[in-house]
Amino acid sequence: MKHLLPITTIKYVVLSLFFVLQTHAQTGNFTGEVFLEGMPMQGVEIYTDTTPKIGTITSNEGRFMFKNLKEGTYTFYFTHIMAVTKQKNIRIEANQTKNIRIDLLSDTKLNEVVVSASLKPVKRVDTPIAVEVYAPTFFKKNPTPSVFDALEQVNGVRPQLNCGLCNTGDIHINGLEGPYTFVLIDGMPIVSGLSTVYGLSGIPNALIERVEVVKGPASSLYGSEAVAGLINIITKKNSNAPSLSIDSYSTSWNERNLDLGSKFQLRETTILLGVNYYNFSEEIDKNNDGYTDLALQHRISVFNKWNFNRASKKAFSVAGRYFYEDRSGGQLGWNSDTDRGQETIYGESIYTARGELFGIYEFKGKENLDLSFSANLHDQNSYYGTTLYDAQQYIGFVQFKWQRNYKKHDLLTGFATRYTYYNDNTPATTQADETIIPSIFFQDEIEFSKKHKLLLGVRQDYDKRHGAIFTPRLAYRFAPRKNDIFRFNLGSGFRVVNLFTEEHAALSGSREVVVLEDLNPERSWSANFNYLMKRYLPSGAFFNIELSSWYTHFSNKIVPDYDTDSSLIIYQNSNGYALSRGVSLQSDFQFTNGLQLNLGVTLQEVLNVENEQKEQQILTEKFSTNLTASYPIRALNLNIDYTGSLYGPMRLPTFGSSIDARPEYAPYWGTHNIQLTYKGIDHLEIYGGVKNLLDWTPAKDAPFVISRGNDPFEQLPKTPENPLDFDTTYVYTSMQGIRGFFGIRYKLF
């Protein structure tokens, strides 16, 4: 008995040692190095698909090591903010060390290929034109029912509502209104005039490859309407689109949005199909003024793209879209069946039907030739109270483009023809307006060296109403170092004014529209400067800073006059000039722990000068900032996204401080949103959050928003207590307050 304890102890020690040795014998090691563009990459995160996850980060020399991994096959992920995530299956053998080299592909914005700068694919880092690129993941941080709403997150770009009831609007770039912004889909100018706001709705997010934004004059390549800049929505190539995608969400206001995308293969033809459906049908009046805070909307959009893959040196793709929307807003209880167009209860109702077709035929060879075309039909039937606005617009566009490299010259030339038909029932349109504008353009991009590049471009348009219109452009790029780029742009712009296609405020409310004379084209000269830098920190983190400034001078800017007569909106040619000038700063920070910060700040001034009197342009902010912060909690498969904005004071359309109690200037205001996304299920994302956390609406700062809302048909006489007219134009942001949202995304490749 006295030997029992020592024997037991010895047996325990022997068994434990055997177990440890046996366990050690079943493990192996995994080591290696990670490279990016041939350079060892510090700060690359490496983790497995096991539960719990096993992970490490590469050293200064790009090296990593996993010790004592159990024998078996593992899936390792190699991720870095500047690289495409790489997945690799590794077999771990007992008592062995696996050593490999991993080469990652660069995935920086600077290496993205853009087409909006010069009508041809080129790396963003190489073009003399500053182009901002936004991927769908950027817009997913704050899901919205349309691209129009999503652009609020872009620095210097702001969706502006123009009607407090129907909630139609346009896109402002650098303080200039929507008619100065050119909207394209896959490079085709199918959105303009009457259809600008609708062209940014109804494209399923799953089929959007990226959104390119050019701030500054682009008329020398794109013609009229590209004075402030352009927004080019690039849809996915058929090769990289998912086989099936579903994105659906709803809000606590009972909004419902559904995006469907799919891809089919029919022999050598690849087909993309996308459907967007949005519905909001609940009357909500949080500010208790008797009017809907958010316009009721019911819309559907179907998008179809065909890519004909050929073994020959030719390629052809064609796409089409159908869009229908029923939109209305007004007094509570308004019914489209009984009250539309009647003087019973006030409501604004817009029926929109739209069809689009666009495509490109490429002749590939030493000299690149392509023929592109687009056509759209837009029909709008609207009632603003008892005022009928019935309008049709048809646009056809054909462009032939030729490109050739000759020594240090990248030559591009072509000709285009644009046909526009427009008709409506307003007194301003006595007969249908038909115009054919032929154009010819030429561009030479000269690369003197890797550091110096010069772009020279000219365009000649002919409009029978105004004669020949010449628009030149010059752009210069200087890159003293790989990570520092200076750009300078100078260009001319022009725009032919189509009043009622652009000004919904001219029809909403009781103000009468007065056009004093034939409106001449607007002409402008613009210059902008851009500096872009990127830096890698020793920790492996990355940041870039983009600084821009601009100055635009208009010789004949057509501005609506709300001030001369409180009952009128007056239009006439300018006797003075207008200015748009400002500076902006855009910065992106990405850290090795996954934290991403995006901050944009814009200071601007848009002035109209008449008889040496300067006046701030109405509905244009002096200051704006956008902030996005994202952080992944990988252990929980959770992403946290914050998006926020802040805008400075802007002048608002009032009837004058002597009779109108509403503030003449909007205060500092903004919206803030938070979102959580769970990614722990294959192919599936579950997300939810809160929009407009501070519950900001224009009603918070004003005693009322809609003036004389008790008498929309103005049947009662004006009194000293109520001297105003009925008006719905006092709006600078949505009346939609705080709300929650919840959604799911499913994607299968």
Q: Residue 67: is it exposed, middle or buried by C-beta count within 10 angstroms (0-12/13-18/19+)?
A: exposed
Considering the domain architecture, whether residues 504 and 646 belong to the same structural domain is answered as: yes
27-36 and 97-104 strand pairing = parallel
> Would 697 be classed as within a structural domain?
yes
Instruction: Please indicate, yes or no, if residue 11 is contained in any of the structural domains.
Output: no
Listing DSSP states for 407-456 in one string gives TTEEEEEEEEEEEEEEEESSTT-SS-EEEEEEEEEEEEEEESSSSEEEEE
Structural tokens at position 212: 């390119």
For residue 98, give the CATH number of its domain. 2.60.40.10
Q: From the CB of residue 53, how many other CB atoms can be counted at a distance below 10 Å?
A: 12
Would you state the pLDDT for residue 592?
Answer: 75
Answer yes or no: are the C-beta atoms of 701 and 666 closer than 8 Å. yes
Domain membership flag for residue 426: yes
How high is the pLDDT of residue 23?
A: 45
For tokens 């001449």, the residue is 520
Half-sphere exposure of 44 (CA within 13 A, CB side): 33
Domain end, chosen from 104, 130, 148, is at: 104
Q: Look at the block and give the residue holding tokens 């691209």.
A: 147
Amino acid type, 129:
I
Question: How many residues would you count in the chain?
Answer: 749
CATH assignment of the domain containing 704: 2.40.170.20
Distance CA 659, CA 566 (A): 10
Please tell me the distance from the alpha carbon of residue 415 to that of residue 685, in angstroms, as a whole number.
Answer: 46
Q: Which domain holds residue 241?
A: 235-397+411-748
Nearest to 628 by CA among 77, 134, 48: 134
pLDDT of residue 9: 46
* C-alpha distance across the termini of the chain, in Å: 71
Residue 363 C-beta-side C-alpha neighbours within 13 Å: 11
CB 579 within 8 A of CB 550: no
Residue 522 lies in a domain: yes
If one counts the domains in the chain, the total is 2
Per-residue burial over 79-95, b = 16 or more CB atoms within 10 Å of its CB, e = otherwise: bbbbbeebeeebebeee
Phi first, then psi: what are they for 10, rounded to 5°? -60, -45
Say which residue the tokens 């210069």 belong to. Answer: 476
In a domain, 514, yes or no: yes
Q: How far apart are CA 230 and CA 550, in angstroms?
A: 15
Buried b (16+ CB within 10 A) or exposed e, 99-138: eeebebeeeebbeeebbbbbbbebebbbbbbbbbbbebeb
Residue 172 placed within a domain: no
CA distance 214 to 199: 18
Q: Which two tokens stand for residue 181?
A: 């912004």
- 213 inside domain: no
Q: Residue 552 and residue 173: Cα distance in Å, rounded?
A: 12
Burial of 427 (0-12, 13-18, 19+ CB in 10 A): exposed
User: For 470, how many CA atoms within 13 A lie in the half-sphere containing its CB?
Assistant: 1
Contact 644, 671 (CB under 8 A): yes
> Which amino acid does the sequence have at 214?
V
Using the 3D structure, point to which of 57, 83, 104 is the last residue of a domain: 104
Low pLDDT (below 70) residues in the chain: 1-25, 37-38, 81-82, 106-112, 118-120, 190-206, 218-221, 223-225, 238-240, 309-314, 364-367, 428, 498-512, 540, 562-563, 566-567
Cβ 427 vs Cβ 100: under 8 Å: no
SS3 338: helix
Residue 700 in 3-state DSSP?
A: helix
**Global confidence as pTM:** 0.82
User: Could you tell me if residue 558 is inside a domain?
Assistant: yes
Output b/e per residue, 309-330; b: 16+ Cβ within 10 A. Answer: eeeeeeebbebbbebbbbbbbb
Q: Output the 3-class SS for 568-581.
A: EEEECCCCCEEEEE
> Within 10 Å of residue 74's Cβ, how many Cβ atoms?
18
**CA separation, residue 497 to residues 179, 416, 524, 576, 721 (Å):** 8, 21, 14, 17, 39
CA-CA distance, 572 to 569, in Å (whole number)? 10
Query: Which of 47, 75, 104 represents a domain boundary (last residue)?
Result: 104
Distance CA 265, CA 308 (A): 10
